[in-house]
Structure 1
Amino acid sequence: MRFLNEMIQIPVCTFIFIWVYAVNVSAGEIKGVVLFSPQSVKTQARQTMPRYPHGKSRELPMHGIGNTTQAVVYITGKFPDSTFSTPDTQPIMDQRDEQFIPYILPVLAGTTVNFPNNDRVYHNIFSFSKAKTFDLGKYPTKTSKKVKFDQTGVVKVYCEIHAHMNAFILVLPNPYYSVVNQDGKFSIPDVPAGTYQLKIFTGRGTESEKKIIVNDNRTTLVEFSL
């Protein structure tokens, strides 16, 4: 009888283990589109960005393909597991043609970002933002420097030598974010089921946010109008 009891219990234990594992990995997806109004695009074309904490604000031109409609969509809320691993490959904010590429770089807190200089001139990258203050000093072409971003928030990035160069690093508490593509579309996969705030950042702050519900194995569709 003891042998028969053990034979009966084995399949039951196996079934319970598989069921618990399936619950942990189940997730949904967020898909959507951002509709930029002509006025929104015009406003984004020139940013008012003071380079120094106590300096005067002034308009700095944005140039480069895609800058006028670039945006990042991300979510905030409580997650079953709040411990996230930073990516193995370090993201890059390039310096090319005297501009930062990309204009907005979203990263997970704790990530180290590379700043390669692919111009033929010197650059001196710095920021006085509350989330991260740094000054990389002057460095020549074909060299690179790194900065680790530990604190969440918006980091405004500038070049000491070229006043028209400016960009943003958006340091986020979780990896559930997406860069809006040229068609205004975005997708955030593998989001744990739950209720969240979906926010959009375009360089002028968080212009809009929506409360969303993500269900297991379902796609949540969202539309933003700016």
Structure 2
Amino acid sequence: MRHLGWGVVVACLLSLPSFAAGASLLVQVTDQNGQPVADAVVTVVPPAPWSGAANLRSTSRTIDQKQLTFMPYVEVFRPGDSVVFRNSDSTRHHVYSFSPAKAFEFVVAPGESAAPLVLDKTGVVAVGCNIHDGMISYLYITDAPYYARTDARGRVSFDALPPGRYDVRVWQPRLPPGRPDLRERALVIAAGESKTLAFPITLRPDPRQQFDREHTHY
């Protein structure tokens, strides 16, 4: 029996059916005025429970404080990840949260960082500064297998998704409070397919802009 040359092997691999390829999904989030929405968390969730999170390694992310602003405004974590609050300002900050997912309170001196804080529950943690009312940040803790935060164009993309049926969920701090994530149910993605999903949402005014307007004389 003759051995096949590499050219024949490659040609055979290229001729395999497309079900071996993963699917891709682009999500575009816009507001009620058709403008792109940044800092929205998009999760892609299969109907069956996902157990892969137990095998993921925990990570630590830093929320910096610069010019009386939390950076980033929204950050995404998995249960078991840690957050570190860094103070890059010349004034101290009193960082706190009363959120059920994680309540805490500590003072961070200029040029210092707080000890890592483990986020062990899913949910949204609203973070403020007890000294500077205009400072606010949100920690979104999810066990979804696929997640991303929209960029300035209001977009996120997911590559190499296994084909199947998914719920696509969107959360943003300016959505009405006390409601679950907005959801696009039963999105079916075929093997090798590239799909785009337009996701319009209705948002409340940005409270950070209101604070800036009230303090422009400082």
Structure 2 counterparts to residues 90-105 of structure 1, below 5 A: 90-105=60-75
Q: Residue 209 of structure 1 aligns with which residue?
A: 183
Q: 1: CA distance between counterparts of 2:189 and 2:57? A: 24
For 1:182, the equivalent position in structure 2 comes to 152
156, 159, 176: which is aligned to 2:126?
156
In the alignment, the residues of structure 2 paired with residue 148 and residue 218 of structure 1 have an alpha-carbon distance, to the nearest angstrom, of: 38
In the superposition, the TM-score normalised over structure 2's length comes to 0.70
Structure number with higher helix proportion: 1
Confirm or deny that 1:142 pairs with 2:111.
yes
**Given the two structures, how large is their TM-score scaled by the length of structure 1?**
0.68
Q: Which residue does the alignment assign to 2:196? A: 221
Q: State the match for 1:29 in structure 2.
A: 24
1:204 to partner: Cα distance: 3.1
In structure 2, relative to structure 1, the CA distance for the partners of 1:96 and 1:86 (3 Å cut) is farther
Q: Tell me the CA shift for residue 144 of structure 1.
A: 1.0
Tell me how far 1:209 sits from its aligned partner: 1.7
Q: How many residues align?
A: 175
Residue segments in structure 2 that go unaligned for 5+ positions in a row: 1-19, 202-218
Any stretches of 5+ residues in structure 1 without a counterpart? Answer: 1-24, 42-65
Superposed, 1:42-53 pairs within 5 Å as none
Maintained 8 Å contact 2:45/2:168: yes
Alignment partner, residue 56 of structure 1:
none
* Among 125, 140, 161, the residue aligned to 2:95: 125
Q: Kindly provide the CA deviation profile for residues 132-186 of structure 1, in whole angstroms up to 9, marking residues without a partner as x.
A: 1111x21212211221111001111111111111111110012411111111211
Aligned with residue 40 of structure 2, among 66, 71, 87: 71
| Identity rate, percent | 26
* Contact 2:86–2:108 (CA under 8 A) maintained in structure 1: no
